[in-house]
């Protein structure tokens, strides 16, 4: 006697429906990995930036511990632990952390652009005598004689292959002038390695 239920797809239980409304195992894994990467960004970020975010105390402690770990495997396990702590946070906290990290990227781009502008201005000061006149018109409070001596010394250092002491000092002066002309309260990090 043939089975009349064979091939029938009309029967579905409430339990079956519930099983497929929950996130899949793969989705859970992707979410865990995303939180772990977010934790990695917190570990890699400068300490003063991370301190400005309102984080739970156990997460701050785990991040500080991870920074101290030098072993690759130990660091990997600590990052997994940070991810586990972050899974316990609510979505609003995670969104706030993500937003803070995104704002850092914007700040970093702005800082880099400002640094490149100062480097171009320094190069212009060394290449053209009229650039100093233009700079003095913008910033009359600057000591023109001192800056003129630094420019002369930087040219001499470059010609003789000496260490660029005056060259770097010009950059510092330009940095101070920019800091004085903008209302940016966060100090710009010195990225110059030349």
- Give residue-wise pLDDT tens across range 54-97: 888 898 899 899 999 999 999 999 988 988 888 888 888 888 88
The answer to whether residue 99 sits within a structural domain is no
The answer to whether residue 132 sits within a structural domain is yes
Q: Report the mean per-residue pLDDT for the chain.
A: 80
Q: How confident is the model at residue 88, as a pLDDT?
A: 86
- Give residue-wise pLDDT tens across range 138-192: 888 888 899 989 989 998 988 888 888 888 898 888 888 887 766 444 444 444 4
Using pLDDT thresholds of 50, 70 and 90, give the confidence band for residue 193: very low
The answer to whether residue 138 sits within a structural domain is yes
Per residue, the 3-state secondary structure of the chain, as one string, reads CCCCCCCCCCCCCHHHHHHCCCCCHHHHHHHHHHHHHHHHHHHHCCHHHHHCCCCCHHHHHHHHHHHHCCCHHHHHHHHHHHHHHHHCCCHHHHHHHHHHHHHHHHHHHHHHHHHHHHHHHHHHHHHCCHHHHHHHHHCCCCCHHHHHHHHHHHHHHHHHCCCCHHHHHHHHHHHHHHHHHCCCCCCCCCCCCC
Q: How confident is the model at residue 189, as a pLDDT?
A: 43
Domain count, the chain: 2
The percent of residues in the chain predicted with pLDDT above 90, rounded, is 9
Q: How confident is the model at residue 1, as a pLDDT?
A: 53
- Give residue-wise pLDDT tens across range 4-40: 555 555 555 556 555 567 778 888 888 888 888 888 8
Q: Does residue 72 sit in the same domain as residue 116?
A: no
Mean pLDDT of 40-64: 87
Burial classification of residue 145, based on how many CB atoms lie within 10 Å of its CB (0-12 exposed, 13-18 middle, 19 or more buried): exposed
For residue 142, give the CATH number of its domain.
Answer: 1.10.60.30
Rounded to whole angstroms, how far apart are CA atoms 66 and 82? 9
Q: How confident is the model at residue 77, as a pLDDT?
A: 92
Rounded to whole angstroms, how far apart are CA atoms 115 and 192? 9
Domain span at residue 140 reads 111-181
The answer to whether residue 173 sits within a structural domain is yes
The answer to whether residue 80 sits within a structural domain is yes
The answer to whether residue 9 sits within a structural domain is no
Q: Lowest-confidence range among 82-91, 106-115, 118-127, 152-161? A: 106-115
């Amino acid at each position: 006697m043939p089975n009349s239920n064979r091939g029938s797809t009309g029967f579905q239980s409430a339990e079956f429906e519930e099983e497929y409304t929950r996130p899949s195992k793969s989705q859970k894994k992707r979410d865990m990995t995303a939180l772990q990467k977010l934790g990695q960004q917190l570990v890699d970020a400068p300490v003063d930036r991370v301190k400005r975010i309102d984080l739970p105390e156990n997460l701050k402690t785990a991040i500080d511990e991870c920074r101290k770990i030098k072993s690759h495997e130990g660091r990997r396990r600590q990052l997994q632990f940070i991810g586990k702590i972050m899974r316990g946070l609510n979505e609003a906290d995670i969104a706030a952390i993500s937003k803070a990290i995104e704002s850092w990227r914007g700040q970093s781009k702005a800082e880099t652009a400002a640094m490149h502008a100062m480097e171009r201005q320094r190069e212009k000061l060394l290449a053209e005598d009229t650039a100093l006149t233009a700079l003095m018109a913008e910033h009359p409070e600057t000591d023109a004689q001192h800056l003129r001596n630094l420019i002369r010394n930087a040219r001499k250092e470059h010609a003789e292959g000496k260490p660029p002491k005056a060259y770097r000092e010009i950059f510092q002066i330009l940095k101070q002038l920019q800091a004085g002309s903008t209302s940016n309260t966060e100090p710009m990090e010195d990225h110059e390695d030349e």
